[in-house]
Amino acid sequence: MGRIIVFAGNVGAGKSTIAGAVAERLRYGVHFESVSDNPFLEDFYYDQKRWSYHLQTYFLYHRYCSLKHAEANENMVFDRSIYEDAEIFARNLFETGKMSRREYDAYTTMFYAMIDYLKNPDLLVYIDADIDTILTRIRRRGREMELAVPIAYWEQLDRLYSDWIRSYNRSPVYRIDARIVDIVTNPSQLDTVMRDIEAIING
């Protein structure tokens, strides 16, 4: 059975960058979330309330399938956890009125049924980034869609992440302070990250 390391953190926190580097050092496979493959994405941008349930269900199903394959076959690093699908993004859509109560209840019922059939990750790496750090990194990578998002949206996600990570207990958690650690501008910091991660997963 393969080992699974999952990353979590707000958009722009640096999950994919560090996940890729960690996977390379450990010689694990790596799974990056592919947003553009979701056939509901374009519809969602035009009418979020109508298509939010479809969008999130598609993401949830495909992440579940990827995790099931990985846990049976190989050591893998995932740049986003399945828990964020429900606890952050679906919850945010519900709280902002873009997903109905009936849809949200159906979604969370499906989510909890799915995770009962998944083994817990061997480690969750949480990238803890404040709003200023998030905005700096979003500007640095320059994705037009993200640059157009109101700051209030990132602040809402930040609140949900803070609430969720306080109660998360499905695996060991390794926190990275994104205000201090930035392997893009200071690659040598990866050495410390790797020492800590290897100590946890091999301990």
> Taking a C-beta distance cutoff of 8 angstroms, is the pair 122, 76 a contact?
no
> Taking a C-beta distance cutoff of 8 angstroms, is the pair 173, 165 a contact?
yes
Q: Which of 92, 70, 75 is nearest to 153 (CA)?
A: 92
79 catalytically annotated: yes
Round to whole Å and give the CA distance between 78 and 6: 5
79, 85, 158, 182: which is the annotated catalytic residue? 79
Could you tell me which residues come within 8 angstroms of residue 9 by beta carbon, excluding any fewer than 6 positions away?
Answer: 15, 126, 127, 128, 129, 161, 178
**Residue numbers annotated as active site:** 79
